[in-house]
Amino acid sequence: MKRSQLAREIVEILALTLLIFLIVRFVVQSYHIDGQSMEPGLYTGQFVMVNKTAYLFSPPERGDVIVFRYPHDTKVDYIKRIIGLPGDTIDTDYKNVYVNGKLLNESYVNIPYNRSGEHWVVPANQYFVMGDNRPASDDSRSWGFVPKDYIIGKAAIVFWPLNTIHFIDTYYDTYKDIPNPKK
């Protein structure tokens, strides 16, 4: 093999390695589930793949499971489900969540629980998030909204352990009939 051909192959391998590194670094990220706030869909010890480019060309939607920097300590990342978009009104009673006056039929919640009589209006460029395991979730009901800039990406796939591999459901049907917020 000629030296020039060997040098070319080394440069190609290095370029491919750099490309793969950049894709992994800037497009996807893994997130380790630590805690029970997203049960029954996500459990402690699982790893999820986070799509960091999901919101470059379209905004987050209700039902998306996102990883974000916790607003009160940005060194800590959380994973929760988006319930409310900018402009939405969120109301709760002990067992139910209402978005813009529409009752959510949340089949993914095993134990519905809220403080009764709570009311929020989601500010511009912020999101209202909740864990699926309502009694065990520290979320927007306690500490407020998630700024759009704090969203790392959309959790897309559980990839570890191997026997739990699956796409993360956004429960489109739960949110499809919610009216847009009143302007």
80: annotated active-site residue: yes
Share of the chain above pLDDT 70, in %: 97
Mention every residue, 6+ apart, whose C-beta is less than 8 A from residue 30: 47, 48, 49, 50, 159
Q: Closest Cα to residue 33, out of 23, 43, 24?
A: 43
The β-bridge partners of 164 are none
Burial of 175 (0-12, 13-18, 19+ CB in 10 A): buried
**What is the reported pLDDT for 183?**
58
pLDDT greater at residue 131 or residue 116: 131
Q: What separation in angstroms does the CA of 180 have from each of 59, 84, 160?
A: 14, 10, 36
Please, are residues 113 and 134 in contact by the beta-carbon 8 Å criterion? yes
CA angle 7, 10, 13 (to 5 degrees): 150
Length of the chain: 183
176: annotated active-site residue: no
Burial of 167 (0-12, 13-18, 19+ CB in 10 A): exposed
pLDDT, tens digit, 9 for 90 and up, residues 80-93 = 999 999 999 999 99
Mean pLDDT for all residues in the chain: 92
Q: Annotated catalytic residue: which of 80, 137, 140, 154? A: 80
Q: Annotated catalytic residue: which of 37, 137, 140, 154? A: 37
Token pair for residue 172? 């489109």
pLDDT, tens digit, 9 for 90 and up, residues 19-31 = 877 777 677 788 9
**What is the reported pLDDT for 1?**
60
The β-bridge partners of 70 are 73
CA 126 to CA 145: how far, in whole Å?
6
Q: Is 137's pLDDT higher than 80?
A: yes
Per-residue pLDDT band for 18 (boundaries 50, 70, 90) equals confident
pLDDT, tens digit, 9 for 90 and up, residues 49-78 = 999 999 999 999 999 999 999 999 999 999
pTM for the model: 0.86
Q: Is 154's pLDDT higher than 90?
A: yes
CA angle 52, 172, 119 (to 5 degrees): 90
Helix H or strand E encompassing 71: none
Average pLDDT over residues 100-127: 93
Average pLDDT over residues 106-122: 91
